[in-house]
């Protein structure tokens, strides 16, 4: 799979979850979209993609799943996690999984011990699972925030992240969650991004990574990283498109009324 880059205006295609081959495009075009044959055919047919800022549609790549084969997404919580890093993707993904249970996905929050977590600005969240009690997951999301700093030096946490990433089909991060992935050794040779104030640090932590400085998120096969805070919402919509269909992502976007028009 070629790295998929979404620029600040949200250009992105869908991609298959279980595709394993990966190559990184050398193009400097921040709106570069890499697509396979089905996506290319859809684009050639002029079908609209439906994700904000995009004008192409990728087809549904995964069939609906029964409750017996429920697939799981886990969002990590930890002290001083940036609220929107976790809650933004949660809103997107939980709206999807609750409004469309026939799609066969569930999203949960997990913390080290399962106890309530106080976030960076004082919001307290009760996770669904502790690390040890969490069921196997297909998609793992590591948010960012000031709480990532101690995690970057926490060998137990880094070992757990490595293990979870090896078991999950897809590892994702929002904001400075990418710094933890870098410290865990998961970003070697990968196309990545993070919060704009941490781009240099990310490049320092993993010199082999291709840091995309102008991207809202970067899809690099089994790894998807987003820029800071609100960019996690864009990334989560991309995940819906990738895990189910672009049409479903469009429905979710409309459902949560996500039509950014900043007043300043």
What's the token pair of residue 248? 């479903």
To which residue do tokens 């400075």 refer? 176
Residues 140, 106: contact at Cβ < 8 Å?
no
Active site (annotated) includes residue 109: no
Reduce the DSSP state of residue 141 to 3 states and report it: strand
Contacts of 185 (CB under 8 A, 6+ apart): 162
What's the token pair of residue 18? 């279980």
Residue of 151, 175, 202, 240 marked active site: 175
d(CA 83, CA 242): 24
d(CA 117, CA 35): 39
Specify burial of residue 115 (Cβ count, 10 A radius: 0-12, 13-18, 19+): exposed
Give the active site residues: 175
């Amino acid at each position: 799979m070629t790295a998929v880059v979404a620029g600040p205006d949200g250009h992105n295609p869908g991609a298959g979850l279980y595709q394993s081959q990966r190559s990184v495009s050398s193009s400097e075009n921040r709106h570069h979209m890499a697509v396979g044959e089905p996506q290319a055919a859809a684009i050639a047919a002029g079908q609209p993609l439906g994700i904000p800022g995009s004008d192409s549609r990728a087809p549904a790549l995964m069939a609906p799943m029964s409750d017996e084969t429920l697939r799981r997404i886990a969002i990590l919580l930890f002290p001083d996690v940036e609220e929107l890093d976790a809650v933004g993707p949660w809103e997107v993904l939980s709206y999807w999984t609750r409004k469309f249970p026939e799609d066969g996905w569930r999203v949960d929050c997990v913390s080290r011990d399962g106890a309530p977590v106080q976030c960076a600005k004082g919001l307290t969240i009760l996770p669904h699972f502790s690390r040890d009690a969490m069921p196997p997951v297909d998609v793992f999301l590591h948010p960012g925030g000031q709480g990532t700093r101690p995690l970057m030096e926490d060998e137990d946490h880094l070992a757990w992240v490595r293990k979870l990433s090896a078991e999950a089909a897809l590892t994702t991060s929002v904001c400075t969650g990418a710094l933890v992935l870098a410290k865990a050794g998961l970003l070697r040779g990968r196309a990545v991004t993070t919060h704009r104030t941490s781009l240099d640090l990310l490049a320092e932590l993993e010199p082999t990574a291709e840091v995309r400085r102008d991207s809202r998120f970067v899809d690099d096969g089994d790894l998807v990283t987003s820029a800071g805070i609100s960019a996690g919402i864009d990334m989560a919509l991309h995940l819906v498109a990738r895990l189910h269909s672009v049409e479903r992502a469009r429905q979710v976007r409309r459902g949560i009324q996500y039509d950014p028009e900043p007043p300043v």
